[in-house]
Amino acid sequence: MNVLDVKNLVKSYKSSVALDGVSLRIDEGFVTGLVGPNGAGKTTLIKCILNLAQADSGRIQVFGMDHRRELEVRSRIGFVHESSYMFDQLNARETGTIARAAYGRWDEKTFAGYLERFELPERAKIKTYSKGMKVRLSLAVALSHEAELILMDEPSSGLDPLIRRELLEVIGEELAKENRTFLISTHITSDLDRIADHVVILDRGQIRLAVTRDELGDQYGLCRGGRELLAMATNGSFIGVQLNEFGFTALTPDREKIARRYGDQVVIERPTVEDLMVHALKEERS
Q: Can you give the binding site for another protein, defined by CB under 8 A?
A: 47, 50-54, 70-75, 77, 79, 81, 84-90, 94, 97-99, 101-104, 138
Residue 95 to residue 84: CA distance in whole angstroms = 14
In this complex, which beta carbon is closest to another protein, that of residue 179 or of residue 190?
A: 179
Q: What's the closest the beta carbon of residue 97 comes to another protein, in angstroms?
A: 6
Distance in angstroms (rounded) separating the CA atoms of residues 225 and 30:
35
Give the shortest CB-226-to-another protein separation in angstroms: 51
| Non-local CB neighbours of 26 within 8 Å, separated by 6+ positions | 2, 3, 4, 5, 32, 149, 181, 183, 198
Give whichever of 12 and 242 is closer to another protein, judged by the CB atom.
12
Would you say 172 and 184 are in contact if contact means Cβ atoms under 8 Å apart? Answer: no
Q: What backbone phi and psi angles, to 5 degrees, belong to 5?
A: -135, 110
Residue placing its CB nearer to another protein in the complex, 90 or 210: 90
Residue 115 Cβ vs another protein, minimum distance, rounded to whole Å: 17
CA-nearest of 54, 74, 30, 55 to 174 is 30
- Specify the residue, 85 or 246, whose C-beta has the smaller distance to another protein: 85
CB of 221 to another protein, least distance (A): 39
Phi, psi (degrees; rounded to nearest 5) at 82: -60, 155
Closest to another protein by CB, 106 or 238:
106
CB of 173 to another protein, least distance (A): 22
